[in-house]
A = this chain, B = another copy of it.
Amino acid sequence: MTGIIDPVSPGLPVGSDTGHLAILGYDPYKYYPGRGPFEALGAGIMLRPGDVAFRCNLATLSGETVIDRRAGRIGSEEAGKLVESLAEVAEIDGVEVILRHTVEHRCVLVLRGEVSDKVSDVDPHREGGRVEWPRPLDDSGVSRRTAETLRNLLLRYREILEKHPINLKRKAEGKPVANMALPRGAGKMPSLPSLTERYGVKAAVIAGGALYKGVCGSAGMEVVEAEGATGTLNTNLDSKFSKAFQTLKRLDMVFLHIKGTDTAAHDKDPVTKASFLEKIDSSFARHFEPPGDEFIVCVTGDHTTSSLTGEHRGDPVPVLIYGHGVRRDGVQRFNEVDAAGGAIGRIRGLDLMNILMDLANRTEKFGE
């Protein structure tokens, strides 16, 4: 059966973090702490209570103007080395600093000590804008000091980056240099009730991107590694699907995340998106191995990304649910338009887990 889902609510574009929280059953208005903490978890940083985590981009600045928020989508190898150099700054103004590279231009920054998460994004979220030096978001002394400390740290980072051999080489090659780190999404870790507590299922996540592992890990899901899962268009889909069906032999539920479609849409490249969807279809078909008669498959997304604007959009995403005891509608093609006429109708992200767990006979009746 098919339908459409508003990840949070109709017309609201959501991030991958809030979108994932919602489709996993966690109200993001209650549980969303900003992107930083999930990203940190996914990067393998064990967050302690009180730690403040930021998502960071390596970016290209000219003076104080952000020319490229992703430093020409710098590759993981070069970015990794740059971040390694920055990570040598282990302390500033008495605050402990942890910086870790994840994928491509992305890294995670954690401040540990007497720090606040009430500091503004440095990333201006658009190219051509001026870098926005951190400001405290409340009146407390600790927020003011955290903003100052962060600024000092970023100035120190810039110093290191400007003279780094990799950047000198990129400059010589005419490539955008990665001469700034742009933090955003400051937050402390919330505690999510686990899927096991909520539904009595043992679940795992298979994903390339750090964020998805972070969200799911904090929901008590086992993070299963699949070889070649990169979180980009060159990911090894066969490895992911194969690992997923293998994992279903010992656990109740696997959440498999595929990022490439989103990446292609961010790049305004619907042709690549379509051919990647075809790759997903055929890889799924090759590896599909039902874990017994009574199983449920659900295919959906955490948000729409428009190939027109290259940005997330508040349009609903299509959803398909297949399996034992699931209604069968007449929809013949799985896309956002046909699915809207299916037996599910239009639901919200927060409804999805309840529906899936009900179909899997995992929910308790309300009343008699």
Q: Kindly provide the distance from the CB of A316 to the nearest chain B CB, expressed in whole angstroms.
A: 8
Interface flags for A357-368 (1: CB within 8 Å of B; 0: not) read 111010111111
Q: Residue on B with the closest CB to A358?
A: B314
Known contacts A330-B337, A345-B340; A15 and B308 CB within 8 A of each other:
no
Stretch touching chain B among A143-151, A251-259, A347-355 = A347-355
On whether the beta carbons of A13 and B363 are closer than 8 Å, the reply is yes
Known contacts A32-B367, A336-B343, A340-B345; A355 and B11 CB within 8 A of each other:
yes
Q: Kindly provide the distance from the CB of A304 to the nearest chain B CB, expressed in whole angstroms.
A: 10
Q: Kindly provide the distance from the CB of A8 to the nearest chain B CB, expressed in whole angstroms.
A: 6
Q: Residue on B with the closest CB to A121?
A: B368
Q: Kindly provide the distance from the CB of A266 to the nearest chain B CB, expressed in whole angstroms.
A: 13
Q: Which residues of B contact A311 (CB under 8 A)?
A: 361, 365
Question: Taking the complex as formed, is A120 at the interface, i.e. its CB lies under 8 A from any CB of chain B?
Answer: no
On whether the beta carbons of A14 and B343 are closer than 8 Å, the reply is no
Question: Taking the complex as formed, is A344 at the interface, i.e. its CB lies under 8 A from any CB of chain B?
Answer: yes
Question: Taking the complex as formed, is A273 at the interface, i.e. its CB lies under 8 A from any CB of chain B?
Answer: no
Stretch touching chain B among A16-24, A83-91, A221-229 = A16-24
Question: Taking the complex as formed, is A129 at the interface, i.e. its CB lies under 8 A from any CB of chain B?
Answer: no
On whether the beta carbons of B358 and A15 are closer than 8 Å, the reply is no
On whether the beta carbons of A12 and B358 are closer than 8 Å, the reply is yes
Question: Taking the complex as formed, is A9 at the interface, i.e. its CB lies under 8 A from any CB of chain B?
Answer: yes
Question: Taking the complex as formed, is A35 at the interface, i.e. its CB lies under 8 A from any CB of chain B?
Answer: yes
On whether the beta carbons of B13 and A313 are closer than 8 Å, the reply is no
Q: Which residues of B contact A330 (CB under 8 A)?
A: 337
**Which among B325, B342, B354 is the interface contact of A11 at CB below 8 angstroms?**
B354
Question: Taking the complex as formed, is A50 at the interface, i.e. its CB lies under 8 A from any CB of chain B?
Answer: no
Q: Residue on B with the closest CB to A367?
A: B15
Instruction: State how many copies of this chain the complex holds.
Output: 2
Known contacts A314-B355, A330-B337, A337-B330; A12 and B363 CB within 8 A of each other:
yes
**Which among B10, B19, B324 is the interface contact of A355 at CB below 8 angstroms?**
B10
Q: Residue on B with the closest CB to A8?
A: B366
On whether the beta carbons of B35 and A367 are closer than 8 Å, the reply is yes
Q: Which residues of B contact A353 (CB under 8 A)?
A: 11
Question: Taking the complex as formed, is A312 at the interface, i.e. its CB lies under 8 A from any CB of chain B?
Answer: yes
- A19 and B368 CA atoms in complex are apart in Å by 9
- A316 and B325 CA atoms in complex are apart in Å by 14
Question: Taking the complex as formed, is A136 at the interface, i.e. its CB lies under 8 A from any CB of chain B?
Answer: no
Q: Residue on B with the closest CB to A2?
A: B340
Q: Kindly provide the distance from the CB of A75 to the nearest chain B CB, expressed in whole angstroms.
A: 22
**Which among B9, B340, B344, B358 is the interface contact of A329 at CB below 8 angstroms?**
B340
Q: Which residues of B contact A13 (CB under 8 A)?
A: 358, 363-366
- A44 and B263 CA atoms in complex are apart in Å by 53
Question: Taking the complex as formed, is A262 at the interface, i.e. its CB lies under 8 A from any CB of chain B?
Answer: no
- A366 and B22 CA atoms in complex are apart in Å by 12
Q: Which residues of B contact A32 (CB under 8 A)?
A: 366-367
Question: Taking the complex as formed, is A184 at the interface, i.e. its CB lies under 8 A from any CB of chain B?
Answer: yes
Question: Taking the complex as formed, is A279 at the interface, i.e. its CB lies under 8 A from any CB of chain B?
Answer: no
Could you pull out 7 A-B pairs where Cβ atoms are within 8 angstroms? A9-B354, A10-B348, A13-B365, A28-B366, A327-B336, A328-B337, A329-B337
Known: A11-B355, A315-B327. 20 other contacts (CB 8 A): A10-B347, A11-B353, A11-B357, A13-B363, A14-B365, A16-B367, A16-B368, A32-B366, A184-B368, A306-B325, A313-B358, A313-B359, A314-B359, A316-B345, A327-B336, A328-B337, A329-B337, A337-B343, A340-B344, A344-B346
